[in-house]
Structure 1
C-alpha cells in the first residue's frame, strides 16, 4: 500500500497541467500522509477544479474493551479488485472519481525498526496523476483514497502493490467515462518508465509515526 507521497508542484503548475482554474489559498504540505490534506482534481458541474481534501476515507473500528467506536483511521488505498464491491457506489459514479497529482510515492524497505524510505518517480511525467475516489465525510469534510493494483514484477522487491498511475490521455476517461470504460485504465504503469531512489531517511519520521497504521480494503 502507499502511505506517503509527495506533490512538489505549485498550484499554477497543476492548474496548467490539468486544465483547471488557478485557485489559490491552499496550504497543503509537499509530503502527504494519511489524514493530512492533499490536492485532487475532480469535476464539478462539468468543469475541472482543484480542491484540497483529506487523504483517506474515515474508518471506525470498535474498541474491544469498551464496545465503542475508536477514533477514525484513514482508509487511504482502494484495491482494484474491490472496485465493483466495497467501492462500487463511488467507482461507478464518475462524479466521485478524482485525479491525485503527485511527483513521487514512497514505500518502506529494510528490517523492521530500521526501515527507510524508497521513492518511486514517474520518469516521463514530472507531475503524474494517481487514480482516486472521493466523497464527503462527517469527520473530515471531503476525503479521497487512491486506487492500487498489483505491482509489476520489477517492483516486487519493494512492494507487491502500486498506485494506478494514469497516462495523460486517460485523465478524461477516469473522470468522465462509465465504469466499464474507466476500469480499462486501471492498469500497471510500465516499470521502464519509473525510477527508484533509495534513501537513508527513516520511514518512521515524526509526521509518519501517527499515520502508519492504515488499512487497504
Structure 2
C-alpha cells in the first residue's frame, strides 16, 4: 500500500547528484515566513510553484539551476471536490504509468533540511471543474531533460498533461481526515 504524502511532511524525490540519480526523502514545501508571523512560529510550506512565477525572484535560482530540479514520483494525486465541509477526494493518475513523475524543484533549508515543491500549470478544460491548477506531469522520455537541461529548454516541458491520458477516480473519502489519523492537506500517493 502506498503512503500518502502531505505538505510540510517528508516525501520522496529523485534528483541528480554528481552525475547519478539519487532517491531522497525531503520535506514537501519550501519554508516561508509570512509578514506578521512571530519569529517563533513554524514556517508555512509553499508546496507548489506556479508556472507563471518560475522566473520570479522567489523561484528563479531553483528553477534555472538544473541540479535543483527533481522528479516527484506518484501513483495518484488528490484534489478536493464538493461543498465546504463536505469535500471528498478525487484521485487523478496517469493512465499508462503506474508510477508517474511530477516536475519539481528542491533546495536546502535551515528549517527543514532539504525540501521540495512541485511545479503547477493551469488545468486542462476537462479537469477545470475539479481544480483550476494541475501538476506538471512529465512524460517518461522527458525525465532526463528536466533534470539536466538549461532553463530555456526546461520551460518548454512546463505544460498541461493531456486529459485523455489521465484517470479520474471520484471517491466518497473525506478530504479532511480526523487529526488523530493524518495531517490535513493535499496528498500524493
What is the TM-score when the length of structure 2 is the normalising length?
Answer: 0.92
1:88 equivalent in structure 2: 60
Structure 1 unaligned blocks of 5 or more: 1-6, 9-29, 213-217
Residues 1:31 and 2:4 are matched in the alignment: yes
| 2:115 maps to 1:174 | no
**Deviation of 1:68 (Å):** 4.0
The Cα offsets for residues 95-118 of structure 1, whole Å up to 9 and x where unpaired, read as 000000000000000010110000
Displacement of 1:93 in angstroms is 0.2
Distance 1:204 1:44 in 2: 37
DSSP-derived class of the 2:142 partner: helix
Long gaps (5+) in structure 2:
none
Cα deviation for residue 69 of structure 1 reads 5.8
Is 1:74 aligned with 2:74?
A: no
TM-score (norm: length of structure 1):
0.80
**Distance between the aligned counterparts of 1:153 and 1:84, measured in 2?**
25
1:199 aligned residue (164, 171, 185): 171
Check whether the contact 1:62–1:68 (CA below 8 A) recurs between aligned residues: no
In structure 2, C-alpha distance between the alignment counterparts of 1:167 and 1:152, rounded to whole Å: 16
CA contact (8 A) 1:60 1:69 kept: no
1:136-168 Cα offsets, whole Å, 9 max, x none, are 011111000000000000001100100000001
CA distance in 2: counterparts of 1:68 and 1:176, whole angstroms:
37
The residue that corresponds to 1:129 in the other structure is 101
The answer to whether the Cα contact below 8 Å between 1:61 and 1:69 also exists between their aligned partners in 2 is no
